[in-house]
Amino acid sequence: MSASEPLLKVENLQKYFPVTRGLILQKEVGQVKAVDGVNFEVAPGETLGVVGESGCGKSTMARCVARLLEPTAGTITFGGRDITHLSRTQMREVRRDMMMVFQDPYASLNARKRVGSIVSEPLDVHNIGTEDERKRRVQELLEIVGLNPEHYNRFPHEFSGGQRQRIGIARALAVNPKLIICDEPVSALDVSVQAQILNLLKDLQKEFGLTYVFIAHDLNVVRHISDRVIVMYLGQVVEYGKSDQMYREPKHPYTGALLSAVPVADPKLGRTRRQIVLTGDVPSPLNPPTACRFHPRCPRFHDGVCNVDEPQLNPIGSDGHLAACHYPLERWPMDEQEMRSTVAVGAAE
Amino acid sequence: MALLEVNDLSTSFRTDDGVVKAVSGVSFKLDRGETLGVVGESGSGKSVTFLTVMGLVDKRNSIIAGSVNFDGHELVGAKASQLREIRGRRIGMIFQDPMTSLNPVKRIGWQLQEAVLLHNDVTKAEARKRAIDLLKEVEIPRADQRIDDYPHQFSGGMRQRVMIAMALINNPEIVIADEPTTALDVTTQAQILKLMRRLQDQHHMAIIMITHDLGVVAELSNDVLVMYGGKVVEQANVDDLFANAEMPYTWGLLGSLPRPNTNVERLDQIPGQPPSLLRPPPGCAFNPRCEYVMDVCRRELPELTQSAHGEGHFFRCHLDDATRTRIWQSKKAALSEEAA
């Protein structure tokens, strides 16, 4: 594999969950399109951030990539190898290079196992080293993530939330993976602890040349850690680009609304800034809106276009910045009024 | 006189391992229509402080000292019946997790009506009407139909709106909101905060906003209490706090926040864990995590001192004025540098 080749390439990934009725016949009455045609690439050593509201399919997408869920359609290429249809045994081999860190450090560690055996589990599964070597490796890992190696024999409940997340990270690092998929790793933590974990992830990336897929709903966290970001809405990617660029000049109105929703830790700036507050919740993926899925909540909604014609993910500007919108934002920041008024001009034409 | 005046409030719990001093010597004032932000990590005593204010701490295993004066009534040591009169009617509360604070087997309407019927001499029909009005006010679509739904039929944001409606249903003078938006998406959080601001303007109520998110505090508060290890370590007007923070813990909180317009490689983290309140470190509770720690910090608890920057600005720190100003100026420059 050459250096320019992506480590992970996902093409047209779909995951539909069937909705059934009846106990015996299980007649299929509909489909929840949790992930509907997602494409992206991650280069080695890069961090790809994934943001979106709850229910937008970001976790389902991650689980499909790790093959914890069977994708309905699409191709996943990892390290130059198509892993979409590998069997369980073949997949086991791949999983040495692809680990996951989960959101809830309280639920993702087995409460009845000692830290030592939790962290060494990947080593056991893959039959790496002798018992002695494993123990030494676990102690080394605990030290790497900033825990006391003597805590080897403790139980998860003896640790705080931040420390448990460190245990989860140590477990993911155990087999020297190339890619770590982090599914909301800091969402359940206090800001000060969150900063510790983010710094740790960055240090580990530098030290071991790791590649991350980093899922979060906090935009500031995603921007801080990511090189590129995808914004998801109802199972689809609405914007994809370099993180600096996307945060400076978002093109999709949804990205704009997400950015302006984040509270600003500066009272003066907070009072004067322009905010777009979206109304309503994310619509049900069982019956998503037609054409552009964002149109019922969009301040730039244009009748006859947005609800008829589905926008494609098209390049806008430079540097591979993509957005799926008929009326991409011309500048930023904007407030709701400005967004609307631009639409009115478009309608008059 | 202030609407709520808390003086030297302390709450300790008797446990098998010893006495836990969850809150010690907390004092503050709150006026009508004001918003007080309370920040701190988990275990800093912010929730217990306000559970004590509301009289919701179990008296059998706790020791409460100090005074809570609400509009002329002393709440510490007040009779349960007197507290019931105030709670839910004059002081409302919004809890963090709307999943667990709503009864899953009762309809939304029943739960809202209960709050009205408990405190007012009205018929069921009147209570129902009031419940529908409130649901409309918190922007629940088709409120007259949704009132007969169960909590599981609502989304997270809608459940939190129901919690707000329940807290507001008797037009309280104070609403205590304990992490009301922590479990929500940013977009929903923005909706809820906007709603709370609008309702505050309309009803002129005071809000106490307990959170660990300094962004939320900056957006909503007039005054801020920063709590650490059960004590107030800094209190100030919101603008003053963000412009002239005096205490290393506050600096740490401000520095550990990833910001939208900055490009720092590493966040300014606070090392270590919050202290155990069972055996707190001697002296300043923050000393084991403080990068500017001196010998005196390990021996003596710094007094709550008046800051040179503002009338109501107090902080606890042994560092001398010149050093503190120098450190903060450099930190502040680093925080806002990239924003330019």
Question: Could you list the pLDDT tens digit for every one of the 340 residues in chain B?
Answer: 789 999 999 999 998 888 999 999 999 999 999 999 999 888 889 989 999 999 989 888 999 999 999 999 999 989 999 998 899 899 999 987 777 889 999 999 999 999 999 998 999 999 999 999 999 888 888 888 899 999 998 888 888 889 999 998 998 999 999 988 887 888 888 888 888 898 899 889 999 999 988 888 998 999 999 999 999 999 999 999 999 999 999 999 988 888 766 667 788 888 888 888 888 899 999 999 999 999 999 999 999 999 988 888 999 999 999 999 999 998 888 877 654 4
CB B37 within 8 A of CB B211: yes
Task: Report d(CA B224, CA B205) in Å as an integer.
Answer: 17
Structure tokens at B196: 């709370």
Of A103-117, A133-147, A180-194, A329-343, least confident by mean pLDDT is A329-343
Single-letter amino acid code for the residue at A251: K
Tell me how far CA of residue B8 lies from CA of A131, A240, A331, in angstroms: 57, 53, 52
CA A306 vs. chain centroid, Å, equals 27
Q: Within an 8 Å CB–CB cutoff, is residue A245 touching chain B?
A: no
Peptide bond into A328 cis (omega under 30): no
Between helix A115-125 and helix A161-173 the angle, nearest 10°, is: 20
Task: Report d(CA B49, CA B71) in Å as an integer.
Answer: 18
pLDDT at position A38, please?
94
Single-letter amino acid code for the residue at A240: Y
Q: Is B308 helix (H, G, I), strand (E, B) or coil?
A: coil
pLDDT band for position A342 (50/70/90)? low
Query: Mean pLDDT throughout A332-343?
Result: 74
Judged by CB atoms closer than 8 Å, whether chains meet at B214 and A199 is answered as no
Task: Report d(CA A205, CA A4) in Å as an integer.
Answer: 18
Residue A27 burial (C-beta neighbours within 10 Å; 0-12, 13-18, 19+) = exposed
Task: Report d(CA B271, CA B256) in Å as an integer.
Answer: 11
pLDDT at position A42, please?
94
Q: SS3 for chain A, per residue?
A: CCCCCCCEEEEEEEEEEEEEECCCCCEEEEEEEEEEEEEEEECCCCEEEEECCCCCCHHHHHHHHCCCCCCCEEEEEECCEECCCCCHHHHHHHHCCEEEECCCCCCCCCCCCCHHHHHHHHHHHCCCCCHHHHHHHHHHHHHHCCCCHHHHHCCHHHCCHHHHHHHHHHHHHCCCCCEEEEECCCCCCCHHHHHHHHHHHHHHHHHHCCEEEEECCCHHHHHHHCCEEEEEECCEEEEEEEHHHHHHCCCCHHHHHHHHHCCCCCHHHHHHCCCCCCCCCCCCCCCCCCCCCCHHHCCCCCCCCCCCCCCCCEECCCCCCEECCCCCCCCCCCCHHHHHHHHHHHHHC
ipTM for the whole complex: 0.82
Chain A contact set for B264 (CB, 8 A)? 224
Q: Within an 8 Å CB–CB cutoff, is residue A125 touching chain B?
A: no
pLDDT at position B340, please?
42
Judged by CB atoms closer than 8 Å, whether chains meet at A281 and B157 is answered as yes
Judged by CB atoms closer than 8 Å, whether chains meet at B255 and A218 is answered as no
- Cross-strand bridge partners of residue A78: A8, A81
Task: Report d(CA A213, CA A198) in Å as an integer.
Answer: 13
Q: Within an 8 Å CB–CB cutoff, is residue A163 touching chain B?
A: yes
Q: Within an 8 Å CB–CB cutoff, is residue A117 touching chain B?
A: no
Question: Of B97, B185, B216, B270, which to mutate for an interface test with A (greatest number of A Cβ within 10 Å)?
Answer: B185
pLDDT digits (tens, 9 = 90+) for A202-221: 999 999 999 999 998 888 88
For residue A303, the tally of other CB atoms under 10 A from its CB is 10
Chain B contact set for A278 (CB, 8 A)? 187, 190-191
Residue A349 has pLDDT above 60, yes or no: no
Query: Mean pLDDT throughout A225-249?
Result: 92
Task: Report d(CA B10, CA B27) in Å as an integer.
Answer: 10
Local structure of residue B238 (DSSP, 8 states): H
Q: In degrees, to the nearest 5, what angle opens at C-alpha B268 toward C-alphas B264 and B270?
A: 160
Residue A117 has pLDDT above 80, yes or no: yes
Judged by CB atoms closer than 8 Å, whether chains meet at B273 and A160 is answered as yes
Chain A: closest CA distance from residue B293 (Å): 18
Single-letter amino acid code for the residue at A172: A
Residue that has been written with the tokens 């604070």 in this structure: B101
Chain B: closest CA distance from residue A128 (Å): 33
Q: Which residue, among B101, B112, B102, has the nearest Cα to B137 in the 3D structure?
A: B112
pTM of the model: 0.87
Query: Mean pLDDT throughout A59-81?
Result: 93
pLDDT at position A276, please?
82
